[in-house]
């Protein structure tokens, strides 16, 4: 490692260790390097920040966030929960499986793991506690299920990856469907096994008539998924344009069909979308400056040379990258990690013939699992807060779900068809 690269990475690591926000750490590390190395004016940091967020595709982030939040405040979440409770509640540990299924469906609408956890957790956790479920188990299951919001499209981080690599957002959305469903299935099986071992109760079956009623209630909101995918894959509009359609449709459904959207709810949803968007774009901008310096220092080539010196087996290379991403995901958020590591690892895996869409799905799934690992673990922290327990109590019950996620990650990594078959069908 060169002295220049050590200065850049060392500055960043020090700032992270003293608990500086990730965006601040990325920006200050870049500024420190430019000040010491004197290779470019300090203004370059600001210029690279602007270049990092100057993308039409990134406009989809605030709009998908807005659509999801409108659905949260407009009453879709309880309707989805009622539907799945009626369908699978009679299974052992049915409420935990309901929570996973609801997170899967709502995640595909909100595109955000944290929004997923808050919306579903505030409804499900009190009911589960009242029926004898351990709050630590419930929080652990909720946190891991919340990571589905980052995998099941439309995913904000898939948009970030597609922007960073100039990949087709539509292909990434479609490619993530099967891995997302596999993750949901693995988490559901894990919840069933743990619930069966602990003797958690079942829920009575309300009858097919009630199931049909809940399905009709949920159908207008869930049609949003079909609109997004149908529009993007048919070529009617881009991912960004589909996000605009999603916002308009969400407003119409919540205001005219469900009639549960008040003016206060609308203002609150807008404020949340603006706040989250500002944080995400700040991180992306700072990561753009940091990533530009990494490219200048030829980090990708250095990484490729080092990995090839260790092994020339693509299976080993992919395993090494997965381990590195899992470690980095314990203390960094997804968006900056994608911006920073994609230019490093994508050339490496491309040299071994890995498709960018396949690698994107691997990365998003990997980092989604990282959302539940301390010391960062934002989704698990939120789940613990909703359950009103400490993060350490939740972490004691998270390991079976974590193991299930790792199994799915290995399957997606070494079976490319899981992420590439469906995009090929829709082309």
What tens digit of pLDDT does each residue of 192-232 get?
898 888 887 777 777 788 888 888 888 887 787 777 777 77
What's the average model confidence in pLDDT over 349-370?
89
**Mind listing the pLDDT tens digit for each residue in 45-70?**
778 778 777 777 777 778 877 887 78
CA 293 to chain centre: 26
Q: What is the mean predicted confidence (pLDDT) over 79-91?
A: 77
Residue 414's pLDDT is 93
Q: For 139-163, how does the pLDDT look when each residue is reduced to its tens digit (9 = 90+)?
A: 888 888 887 777 887 778 888 888 8
Q: How far apart are CA 168 and CA 95, in angstroms?
A: 37
The per-residue pLDDT for 392 is 77
- Give the span between the Cα atoms of 354 and 344, in whole angstroms: 14
Least confident of 21-25, 203-207, 287-291, 361-365: 203-207
* Mean pLDDT on 312-332: 84
Q: What is the pLDDT of residues 380-395, one digit of tens each?
A: 777 887 788 877 777 7
* 375 band by pLDDT with thresholds 50, 70 and 90: low
Tens-place pLDDT, residues 311-321: 788 888 899 89
Provide the pLDDT for residue 358: 93
pLDDT of residue 416: 92
The structure tokens listed for 345 are 């690892």
Could you read off the pLDDT of 93-131 as tens digits, one per residue?
778 888 888 787 776 555 566 666 777 777 778 777 877
CB atoms under 10 Å from CB of 400, counted, come to 18
**For residues 273 and 265, what is the distance between their CA atoms, to the nearest angstrom?**
12
The per-residue pLDDT for 179 is 92
Helix and strand totals (H; E) in the chain = 22, 0
pLDDT averaged over every residue in the chain: 81
Higher pLDDT, 417 or 113: 417
């Amino acid at each position: 490692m060169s002295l220049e690269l050590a200065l850049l990475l060392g500055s960043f690591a020090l700032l992270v260790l003293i608990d500086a926000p990730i965006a601040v750490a990325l920006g200050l590390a870049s500024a420190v390097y430019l000040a010491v190395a004197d290779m470019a004016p300090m203004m370059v940091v600001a210029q690279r920040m602007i270049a990092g967020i100057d993308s039409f595709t990134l406009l989809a982030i605030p709009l998908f966030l807005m659509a999801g939040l409108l659905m949260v405040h407009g009453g879709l979440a309880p309707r989805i929960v009622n539907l799945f409770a009626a369908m699978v509640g009679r299974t052992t540990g049915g409420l935990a499986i309901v929570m996973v299924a609801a997170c899967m469906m709502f995640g595909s609408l909100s595109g955000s793991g944290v929004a997923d956890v808050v919306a579903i957790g505030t409804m499900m956790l009190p009911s589960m506690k009242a029926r004898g479920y351990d709050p630590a188990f419930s929080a652990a299951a909720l946190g891991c299920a919340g990571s589905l919001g980052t995998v099941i499209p439309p995913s904000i981080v898939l948009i970030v990856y597609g922007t960073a690599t100039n990949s087709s957002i539509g292909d990434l959305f479609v490619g993530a469907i099967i891995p997302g469903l596999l993750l949901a299935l693995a988490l559901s099986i894990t919840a069933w096994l743990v619930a069966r071992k602990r003797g958690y109760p079942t829920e009575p079956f309300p009858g097919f008539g009630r199931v049909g009623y809940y399905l009709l209630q949920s159908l207008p909101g869930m049609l949003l998924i079909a609109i997004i995918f149908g529009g993007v894959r048919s070529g009617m509009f881009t991912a960004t344009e589909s996000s605009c359609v999603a916002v308009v449709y969400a407003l119409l459904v919540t205001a005219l069909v469900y009639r549960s959207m008040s003016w206060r709810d609308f203002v609150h949803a807008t404020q949340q979308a603006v706040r989250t968007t500002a944080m995400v774009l700040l991180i992306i901008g700072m990561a753009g400056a940091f990533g530009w310096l990494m490219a200048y220092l030829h980090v990708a080539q250095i990484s490729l040379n080092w990995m090839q010196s260790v092994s020339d087996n693509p299976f080993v290379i992919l395993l090494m990258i997965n381990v590195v991403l899992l470690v980095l995901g314990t203390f960094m958020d997804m968006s900056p990690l994608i911006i920073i590591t994609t230019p490093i690892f994508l050339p490496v895996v491309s040299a071994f013939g890995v498709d960018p869409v396949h690698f994107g799905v691997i990365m998003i799934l990997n980092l989604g699992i990282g959302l539940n690992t301390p010391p960062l673990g934002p989704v698990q922290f939120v789940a613990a807060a909703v359950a009103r327990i400490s993060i350490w109590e939740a972490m004691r019950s998270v390991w079976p779900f974590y193991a299930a996620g790792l199994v799915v990650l290995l399957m997606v990594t070494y079976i490319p068809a899981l992420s590439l078959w469906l995009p090929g069908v829709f082309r």
